[in-house]
């Protein structure tokens, strides 16, 4: 079975959302093995806003365990999907592994899916903007999955 690995920084927001959204979109008999990891993955608790929005979309991340990317994970993944430009650069510099951007696969755009702190610099002082951005990103990733599924075949090697 071909393997897809999503990568972000902490593995508790963007890559994790992409993992669970893709698993849900693929249904009970998936054609891909799907996982996620973070470039840092320093122990953090998943933000309540992330958990809440995923639940509203019918996704249950309660089984998720934060993971830091390893060479072994990369060796097992046929396609590595970076959520941001910094993740793609990190994977190349640390492991010599190329990665596609999420937006590149879904929409043909060389653009990142920004983390909360990148998009809402004053996130600690503006909880409403923080929540709105988190909800927007979860929705965006979930709604992009049909495009991801339609296009991922172009990024997989033929069997």
Average pLDDT over residues 59-66: 92
Sheet holding 32-38, edge to edge: 32-38, 2-8, 79-82, 100-101
Query: pLDDT tens, 101-131?
Result: 999 999 999 999 999 989 898 878 889 999 9
Chain centroid to CA 110: 15
What's this model's pTM, rounded to 2 decimal places? 0.94
Residues 7 and 69 sit within 8 Å (Cβ to Cβ):
yes
Say which CATH number the domain at 52 has. 3.40.50.2300
Tens of pLDDT, residue by residue over 5-33, are 999 999 999 999 999 999 999 998 888 99
Lowest-pLDDT range of 25-34, 50-59, 70-79, 134-143: 25-34
In terms of residue numbers, what domain contains 47? 2-155
**pLDDT tens sequence across 137-157:** 999 999 999 999 999 988 887
Could you give the number of structural domains in the chain? 1
């Amino acid at each position: 079975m071909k393997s897809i690995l999503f990568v972000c920084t902490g593995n508790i927001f963007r890559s994790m959302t992409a993992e669970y959204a893709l698993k849900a979109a693929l249904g009970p008999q998936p054609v891909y093995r799907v996982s996620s990891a973070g470039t840092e993955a320093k122990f953090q608790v998943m933000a309540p806003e992330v958990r809440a929005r995923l639940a509203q979309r019918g996704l249950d991340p309660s089984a998720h365990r934060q993971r830091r990317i390893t060479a072994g994970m990369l060796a097992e993944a046929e396609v590595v999907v970076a959520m941001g430009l910094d993740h793609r650069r990190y994977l190349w510099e640390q492991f010599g592994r190329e990665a596609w951007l999420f937006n590149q696969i879904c929409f043909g755009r060389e653009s990142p899916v920004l983390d909360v702190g990148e998009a809402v610099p004053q996130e600690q002082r503006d909880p409403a903007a923080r929540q709105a951005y988190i909800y927007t990103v979860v929705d965006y990733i979930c709604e992009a999955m049909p495009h991801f599924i339609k296009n991922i075949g172009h990024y997989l090697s033929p069997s």
